[in-house]
Amino acid sequence: MTDRSDASSGDKTPHNGQMAPSKKVFVKTYGCQMNVYDSERMVGLLKPLGYAPSDVPDDADLVILNTCHIREKAAEKVYSDLGRIKKHKTKKPDMKVAVAGCVAQAEGAEITARAPVVDMVFGPQAYHKLPEMIARAARDSGEVLETDFTVEEKFDRLAEREVDGYSAFVTVQEGCDKFCTFCVVPYTRGAEVSRSVDAVTAEVRSLASRGLREVTLLGQNVNAWHSPAPAGHIAGHTEGSTFGLGELVRHIAQIDGIDRIRFTTSHPRDMDDGLIAAFGEEEKLMPYLHLPVQAGSDKILKAMNRGHTAETYIRQIEKVRAARPDIAISGDMIVGFPGETAEDFEMTMEIVREVNYASCFSFKYSRRPGTPGATMPLQVPEDEKSDRLARLQALLEEQKQAFNAAQLGRVLPVLFEKEGRNKGQLIGRSPYLQAVHAVATPDMLGQIVPVEIIGCAPNSLEGALAGLKEKTS
């Protein structure tokens, strides 16, 4: 659920050319950070039209389900949520219901056929047309369908979003041309597109002027990002040359007020030396890298069309660690891809042992219609996948806990982002993206403070400000 704008002002006077909020929009976000970002932008886009965000769908004028298609369960969840929304719509017939995101892109008209409660279906490339679609849905009876890919600058046509807190995502790249044989993203999000240096810089500057301290550059294949160097750029570049993600990070790092930079998700194929070097050279780039390998067997990596081997991946991790020895490595793993034997799975366990992840997501292979993997022979039985996943997750959990425990006694700079559950407590993030809670005063919100790590829970660390070392929980 995304609800980040200020719905509580109660001010009915139109100002700045915006309509006072008179309507409610409920947005539910499924899946990845890209969707969270898109939802924020949709809420920002609807605000001038008089829509205030609502936490509940019950009496909303507009309900948007921003969907994820990456695994089968995520798509099925959308249909069961639509069943619940139908009941609300029966009580409030003028409610408009939109299905956005990757399920919309993939299933198109099938959605309205299966769930007639839906008025609008639009893919990730069509968000900026939301006001137009709402007007059309209100005017016409019959559903609106908008799932054609348009590579016109969706990024730049979207309104500036509402943000709160001190850390924000900034989309710099969309889409994917890699066509891993298990994945729907190239079909739902389209080809790789990069946003210009100037557009990214302008957005980051604007966030800095609103007091944000940290940005995470976002893209399905973020390290495939590239764009012409900005006009007048000389240091190390001739004008007209191309910037890669490493240069973008260094460029953004010059913006005052922004002290932490992260990026996600990277692909091993696009991990160039300039970007790796930035981990050692650019202080503002945080020591955390999400670099999925997916599997440890070269046979399976080939069948997945990953374009790298276990060996080349390990060499990259070594290079990254040489540049920044304390870096936290994170990843994604799939077990039970078609053809994966017990021996292949052992190679996945082996690569995990070799990398030693600080955190890692892991999934059972899920057959996505339309992808090459779905029709491959030698599909792995479900119970076998479950057994492998359980073994893998036990190992990953052990590694995560060891990484967290290794922070005990260290003093880490923590960016405090919000109040904690217990009174007098703030919660923030370590450079390695771990949640850290500590007794601290509210004026420390938005500040980066040295915190000694004194405790370690399964999903967070406990810290104490210098000189304040009592336990709080």
User: Where on the chain is the footprint of ligand SF4 (CB under 6 A)?
Assistant: 176, 178-180, 183, 185-186, 220-221, 267
43 near 53, Cβ under 8 Å? yes
Q: What angle do CA 321, 263, 314 make, to 5 degrees?
A: 30
Cα separation of 166 and 368, whole Å?
A: 37
Cα separation of 253 and 417, whole Å?
A: 20
Exposed / middle / buried, residue 447 (Cβ in 10 Å: 0-12, 13-18, 19+): middle
Total residues contacting ligand 5AD by CB under 6 A comes to 12
Which of ligand SF4, ligand 5AD, none does residue 419 bind (CB under 5 to 8 Å by kind)? none
Binder among 263, 365, 403, 416 for ligand 5AD (CB under 6 A)? 365
Which of ligand 5AD, ligand SF4, none does residue 67 bind (CB under 5 to 8 Å by kind)? none
Q: Which lies closer to ligand 5AD via its Cβ, residue 123 or residue 268? A: 268
Q: In angstroms, what is the minimal distance from the CB of 220 to ligand SF4?
A: 5
Q: In angstroms, what is the minimal distance from the CB of 362 to ligand 5AD?
A: 8
| 310-323 and 273-281 helices, crossing angle to 10° | 30
DSSP label at residue 147: -
Q: Which lies closer to ligand SF4 via its Cβ, residue 192 or residue 462? A: 192
Cα separation of 473 and 468, whole Å?
A: 14
Which residues make Cβ contacts (< 8 Å) with residue 346, sequence separation at least 6?
A: none
Exposed / middle / buried, residue 249 (Cβ in 10 Å: 0-12, 13-18, 19+): buried
Asked if 71 touches ligand 5AD (CB under 6 A), the answer is: yes
Helix (H) or strand (E) holding 426: strand 425-429
Which of ligand 5AD, ligand SF4, none does residue 368 bind (CB under 5 to 8 Å by kind)? ligand 5AD
Q: Which lies closer to ligand 5AD via its Cβ, residue 34 or residue 43? A: 34
Cα separation of 360 and 238, whole Å?
A: 39
Q: In angstroms, what is the minimal distance from the CB of 267 to ligand SF4?
A: 5
- The footprint of ligand 5AD on residues 173-192 (CB under 6 A) is 182-183
434 near 458, Cβ under 8 Å? no
Question: What residues are paired with 100 via a beta bridge?
Answer: 66, 122
453 near 462, Cβ under 8 Å? yes
Quick note: the x/- pattern for ligand 5AD over 325-364, rule CB under 6 A, is: -------x-x----------------------------x-
Which of ligand SF4, ligand 5AD, none does residue 334 bind (CB under 5 to 8 Å by kind)? ligand 5AD
Q: Which lies closer to ligand SF4 via its Cβ, residue 167 or residue 188? A: 188
- The footprint of ligand 5AD on residues 277-316 (CB under 6 A) is 292, 294
Which of ligand 5AD, ligand SF4, none does residue 221 bind (CB under 5 to 8 Å by kind)? ligand SF4
Q: Which lies closer to ligand SF4 via its Cβ, residue 2 or residue 221? A: 221
Q: In angstroms, what is the minimal distance from the CB of 283 to ligand SF4?
A: 29
Which residue is at the shortest CB distance from ligand 5AD? 332
CB half-sphere exposure, 96, CA atoms < 13 A: 25
Closest CA to 35 of 113, 102, 107: 102
Q: In angstroms, what is the minimal distance from the CB of 126 to ligand 5AD?
A: 22
Q: Which lies closer to ligand 5AD via its Cβ, residue 268 or residue 292? A: 292
Q: Which residues bind ligand 5AD (CB under 6 A)?
A: 70-71, 182-183, 292, 294, 332, 334, 363, 365-366, 368
